[in-house]
Amino acid sequence: MAGCVSIPSHTARNEHARKLAIDRGWVSSLINTDNFLLQAYVPAKLQSAKELTIYIEGDGLAWINRSTPSFNPTPANPLALKLALQDDKPAAYLARPCQYVSFDQSPNCSQKYWGSYRFAPEVIHATSQAIDQIKLKFGAESLILIGYSGGGAVAALAAAQRMDVSYLITIAGNLDHQAWTNKQQLRPLQNSLNPADYADKLQNIKQTHFVGGKDGITGEFVARAYSKRFVSDLSNSIVVMPDFDHVCCWQMYWPDLKNSKVINDEK
């Protein structure tokens, strides 16, 4: 009971994200797709952009503990949103299915979509539809997709199905969930697509994958397992931050990382 009391309510988590966005001059945008209503945040003053960066959120509050799923996956710490709000170039934020929205608004939501179906085909399809609509708002021609944690998997899977992604960046990304569940002794995500299985379609997309040296959740081993699926050598695209873990200290150092020589040389 004590553990449950310490978790902010769904309403409080929603309000936290909304306030973060408003404080930086961003506004909410709800996007209808075939399967889900998805929450996005975009700058209030939209500017046309030839290249647009879209940040995709992590799994959020998917689990209360190792064996207990939550009733709502809205993140308590929306890290991808915090990173997006620091971007000094045209950018937008996209949440995952069932985050922020009520189940009345998005009737297809059920716990499976933050469980074994978190990277299911219908999730990736909805994400890509939302990306299309955000891209249209900005009049963009090409995209940089940035995904945090499970959002890294979604970004990679969306990129594998699109022709307009110029750059894929992940932060603590779950890029090979089969390697992840094996290593962590978790139940396999049997109903989810696995980014590592789409190496052939991602082969020619420029990539950078940031991982924390102290990340005990999706550590360097996940990125290495993913890179082994590629014909080209992806080892140089994996950037290990020795003192970072799954959450710390991406927000603090993101402006420096985003504008680093690593990324700009790749681009």
Encode pLDDT of 164-206 as tens digits. 999 999 999 999 999 999 999 999 999 999 999 999 999 999 9
Alpha-carbon distance 75 to 153, whole Å? Answer: 17
Alpha-carbon distance 111 to 182, whole Å? Answer: 22
Count of the separate structural domains present in the chain: 1
CA distances 152 to 8, 103, 104, 173, Å, are: 25, 25, 28, 4
Q: How confident is the model at residue 266 (pLDDT cuts 50, 70, 90)?
A: low
Residue 102 pLDDT > 70: yes
pTM passes above 0.75: yes
**Average pLDDT score over residue span 227-251:** 92
- Distance from chain centroid for Cα 96: 8
**Average pLDDT score over residue span 207-219:** 96
pLDDT at 21 (0 to 100): 98
**Average pLDDT score over residue span 54-60:** 98
Q: How confident is the model at residue 3 (pLDDT cuts 50, 70, 90)?
A: very low
Can you give the residue range of the structural domain that contains 130?
2-266
Say if strands 37-43 and 91-94 run parallel, antiparallel, or are unpaired. Answer: antiparallel
CATH number at residue 80: 3.40.50.1820
